[in-house]
Amino acid sequence: MPAMQIRVKLMGMLKSKAPPGERLELPDGASIADALAKLGIDASSVQAFTINGALVRDRGRTLADGDELTVLPPVGGG
């Protein structure tokens, strides 16, 4: 099955789940949700994402080879 590589930047409390070298291999046509699942991150615990610097809220958004996915956890307040 053809595969692609994306760069993953995890922020805040998610940093511990970052893949080696911040690189993640996924099957072609994989979505943000697929990437989160492979990283072991519960999609409901994520506030927002950027792909190549552009804010994205749709977890179903398809990723492309070479994309940079940044995952932003919810910001706590109080």
| Sheet with 68-72, edge to edge strand ranges | 23-27, 3-10, 68-72, 48-51, 54-56
Extents of the domains making up the chain: 3-72
9-66 confidence digits (pLDDT tens): 999 889 999 999 999 999 999 999 999 999 999 877 787 899 999 999 899 999 999 9
47-61 confidence digits (pLDDT tens): 789 999 999 989 999
Rounded Cα distance, 41 and 75, in Å: 16
> Is 0.85 surpassed by the pTM of this model?
yes
Q: Which CATH superfamily is domain 3-72 in?
A: Beta-grasp domain (3.10.20.30)
Q: List the structure tokens of 22.
A: 């911040």
